Amino acid sequence: KEAKGSLNKALKDDVEAALNIANFKSFKDSMLSRPLREWYLRQQELLKLLPPTRDDEKKEEEKK
């Protein structure tokens, strides 16, 4: 489980870095071109298959 959580974090960080998501106040996939949006949505589907670690889940909840 820990390995899947590590993969989730690594993939999420890579996707966010590739799209510079941190530079947007609010990010929506509709802001992307069609090819980028399709790629982004595929990555999101992969992330759903790799559950985050409990620490990552807590951090996401704190952001909200």
What tokens appear for 7 in the block? 């993969």
pLDDT of amino acid 14? 92
The pTM of the full predicted model, rounded to 2 decimals, is 0.68
**If pLDDT is split at 50, 70 and 90, which confidence band does 61 have?**
low
Domains of the chain, residue spans:
2-56
pLDDT tens digits for range 1-54: 567 778 888 999 999 999 988 888 898 999 999 999 999 999 999 988 888 876
